[in-house]
Amino acid sequence: MCTHDQDIKSNLEVKKGSEMAHGIAHEKAHNKWSRRSFLRGLGISGGMGMMLGHLPVNALSSSPLNMLLDGGNTDRVLVMIRLKGGNDGLNTLIPLYDFDTYRNNRPQISKQVGDTIQLTNEHAINQNLERLMPLWNNGQMKIVNGVGYENHNLSHFRSSDIIASASDAEQIEDSGWLGRHLNDCFPDFLTNAPEHPSAVQIAGGGSILFGGGEGGVNNYALTVSSPDQLFEIAQTGQLYNLDGLPECTYGEQLGFLRTVANTTFQYAEVIKERFDEGVNGVNYTTSLGQQLALVARLIKGGLRTQFYVVTLNGFDTHANQESDHDNLMNTLGTAVSNFYADLKLEGKDESVLAMTFSEFGRRVQENASRGTGHGTASPTMLFGPSLNGNGIIGDNPDLNDLDSNGNLKFTTDFRSIYATVLEQWLCLDAQQVDAILFRNFARLELGLRCQTVSASPWVDIPKIKHEVRYHDHGRAFIYYELERTQYIKVVIISISGKHLKTLQNGSQPGGQYALDVNLDRQFVMAPLIYRISINDQSYSKTLPLLKI
């Protein structure tokens, strides 16, 4: 967790840049957001350690945890649809309960009653979402109203991190909520990663959603910039040989770079194989449609991936919102409708839950450019037969009781949705859910039912506290604590899987221990990993010997 006061201060200064009228400040905010997304998409924003988290090293042994997400009961899938830019909730779920106030604040961009589809006496949806109505009518769609959090941040990149990390607005957290879940499932991820990717992000670079471990250094998702990119690599690339590398620092660094490339190819091969096994039975159009077509085909082809993220961009509607947002709604409704129709052809729709998310909503009052500024609360839509009925969940935001910026006050904490999905869809233990989300959040009645025989059960693996500390002259020590007498082995491994040194191998009584890494100088520049094994369980972590 970041504790730099200056970083926290700068991240909390959010008002400047939330409107196009802020000029340079708004442009800088977008440039910073885009640059960071680019770097994270490459996996280099966190330095060498961040890159290590994107890829498995040669598997050195098997782990009992691999059954959880690689070959075990993984028939429940979560697909997250990112509405990037800040979706306007009031023009998505129209507030019939206070229609006059809605219309008065938006004389140019609000929806006429005839431009909506009524769901209940109090709510209607944008008519461009009409393709979703069969899901609603068949009890396969719910909407959670007024979703947000306390002290909402109006910065794209900061709010995106809050939503992905499930943290408070004032809390700087580098790991993602699903990354923390996967970190619990794969404590030995760096040396024993699963055969199939645990998560796949398509056009989702820049998100910390799947970052796990201390500082979010492990990234458990395979991220590609487009559906076509992965297949092009898989069909035209060549695997790099890791044998016969020079016994020197250069050789270790060369092995590291080759391993980075090999990891992409490794997962590309699996994905291509599963893609070839699956067949789309529906014709998809648009970028979002192509992303969901890929997800549907991978699910139908048997890829053992439990989490997918797809992205629909264009929701930062400061101007010309009426037509732009309507087109986005049409794209969303059509793509989701096709996705579930495709899955249903092979009976896969029952095992797939999809949900939308966005960094924030839009302001209640329109601006002079026929658009809206950065706002706060907005609805979250969920789809799938597992919802067991339709409905609007949560209290209605009050359009007459706004915050000091003219924005809605949230009525449902976004983390209540996460907690409900983790416990009632992924079947995690309630205490584990609270640990992932840092504290307890109310569960919602989404209609989800946990069936442990068909979902990944939580396995309570005993934990060990361990960390790297630096002493004088940059020397590194591995500290760990044992609760009782146990057999423990601690080794240093290169990124290519080469064993470099054994620091401990034997039984030790309970207590605190410190092991001097003390490697030869030739390894100081190389990316390294330390691995702690206790009985049949292992934990791995990067060893940043060279501090930059």
407/89 Cα distance (integer angstroms): 12
Report whether 109 contacts 321 (CB < 8 A). yes
Report whether 222 contacts 201 (CB < 8 A). yes
Residue type, 88: D
pLDDT, tens only, 49-97: 222 333 333 322 233 333 333 333 358 999 999 999 999 999 999 999 9
pLDDT tier, 122 (very low <50, low <70, confident <90, very high otherwise)? very high
pLDDT at 452 over 70: no
- How is domain 465-542 classified at the CATH fold level? Immunoglobulin-like (2.60.40)
- pLDDT at site 119: 98
Total length of the chain:
548
**Which range (217-221, 233-237, 407-411) has the least confidence?**
233-237
Average pLDDT value over all residues in the chain? 81
CA atoms within 13 A on the CB side of 426: 25
Tell the burial category of 469 from Cβ atoms under 10 Å away from its Cβ (0-12, 13-18, 19+): exposed
- pLDDT at site 140: 98
- pLDDT at site 68: 36
Query: Could you tell me which residues come within 8 angstroms of residue 520 by beta carbon, excluding any fewer than 6 positions away?
Result: none
Measure Cα distances from 261 to 79, 126, 461 in Å.
27, 44, 32
- pLDDT at site 52: 30
Radius of gyration of the chain (CA): 24
- pLDDT at site 31: 52
Residue ranges matching CATH 2.60.40 in the chain: 465-542
Query: Could you tell me which residues come within 8 angstroms of residue 545 by beta carbon, excluding any fewer than 6 positions away?
Result: 474, 476, 517, 519, 523, 524, 528
In 175-280, at which residue ranges do the beta strands (DSSP E only) sit?
199-202, 211-212, 218-219, 221-224
Report whether 543 contacts 495 (CB < 8 A). no
DSSP symbols for 352-383: EEEEEE-S--B-SS--TTS---B---EEEEEE
pLDDT, tens only, 109-121: 999 999 999 999 9
pLDDT tier, 192 (very low <50, low <70, confident <90, very high otherwise)? confident
pLDDT, tens only, 125-164: 999 999 999 999 999 999 999 999 999 999 999 999 999 9
pLDDT, tens only, 348-362: 999 999 999 999 999
pLDDT tier, 3 (very low <50, low <70, confident <90, very high otherwise)? very low
- pLDDT at site 321: 97
Structure tokens at 403: 């915050």
107/542 Cα distance (integer angstroms): 56
Tell the burial category of 129 from Cβ atoms under 10 Å away from its Cβ (0-12, 13-18, 19+): buried
Structure tokens at 347: 């009976």
pLDDT at 166 over 70: yes
Structure tokens at 502: 């054994």
Mean local confidence (pLDDT), 173-184: 90
